[in-house]
Amino acid sequence: MEVFYASREGGEALLGPEESLHAARVLRHKAGDEINVIDGVGSLFVVRLTEVSKRECRGTILQEIPGWGSHPYRLTMAVCPTKNLERFEWFAEKAAELGVDRLVPVIGERSERESVNMERLRRVLISACKQSYKGRLPEVSEPQSVRDFIASPAEGLKAIAYCFEGETRRLSFADALRDYKGDTYTVLIGPEGDFSPEEAGLALAAGFLPVHLGSSRLRTETAALTAVEGVYFKYM
């Protein structure tokens, strides 16, 4: 099933240049054709095309299927962007395929990268949601410091993956998921250089549960995806 991404204008769907080109030139759609559209807000729309051009396609919404491809939990992933940005974008793609609600690029004191390409990240997420039949695009927050994120309000199970020295006892994330009875999750994943001890201490003080992600030494993006997979499996 082909899914297009479009903006919604009342009872109409409007395809941008990229999607219009694909619809008009590649798939050779004509006015009168019915297409499936998501607008990233949660629904699937069945749309009858009224105007078709390579620059702009427009159509009338015939049917709306709300909560299309939705999941029964709310997951916020706060992840330090990787030095190689492709690895972060790959994580975002896979997290969107599985089901994530909010991505927060967080910058730690030991982060080697302090920015993400928001436009490219958005494209990755749109493509992943079309591919995995999800009506809602994950929300992407502007990059912020780890400290600011820790200080911001968060509900539900808050977990930080960090190899704490000494006393701090860590639950496995699997056990943390088993013990937690709610459906709201926030997971904080550090940079290649890990969190600073100060950042980790602030997270604990703010109520983040110290967890480990098993015995393997995982790259930042693999650790982040492993957390998403853990939540995904809990509802499988």
Residues of this chain that interact with its own copies (CB under 8 A) are 69, 71, 90, 94, 97-99, 131-134, 172-175, 212-219, 222, 225-226, 229-230, 232-236
Q: Which one, 12 or 229, has the nearer CB to its own copies?
A: 229
Q: Report in angstroms how near the CB of residue 104 gets to its own copies at its nearest.
A: 21
Q: Which one, 58 or 130, has the nearer CB to its own copies?
A: 130
Residue pair 37/45 in contact (Cβ under 8 Å)? The answer is yes
Q: Report in angstroms how near the CB of residue 15 gets to its own copies at its nearest.
A: 22
Residue pair 211/170 in contact (Cβ under 8 Å)? The answer is yes
The residues, any chain, with a CB within 8 Å of residue 83's CB and separated by 6 or more, are 112, 113, 192
Q: Report in angstroms how near the CB of residue 236 gets to its own copies at its nearest.
A: 4
Structure tokens at 96: 């969107």
Residue pair 161/213 in contact (Cβ under 8 Å)? The answer is yes
Crossing angle of helices 118-131/85-98, nearest 10°?
A: 30
Q: Which one, 45 or 173, has the nearer CB to its own copies?
A: 173
Q: Which one, 88 or 149, has the nearer CB to its own copies?
A: 88
Residue pair 32/39 in contact (Cβ under 8 Å)? The answer is no
Q: Which one, 65 or 218, has the nearer CB to its own copies?
A: 218
Q: Report in angstroms how near the CB of residue 9 gets to its own copies at its nearest.
A: 28
Q: Report in angstroms how near the CB of residue 190 gets to its own copies at its nearest.
A: 16
Give me the amino acid identity at 138: P
Closest CA relative to residue 47, chosen from 89, 87, 4, 78: 4
CA-to-CA distance for 21 and 56, rounded, in angstroms?
8
Structure tokens at 137: 């695009």
Q: Report in angstroms how near the CB of residue 202 gets to its own copies at its nearest.
A: 26
Q: Which one, 45 or 232, has the nearer CB to its own copies?
A: 232
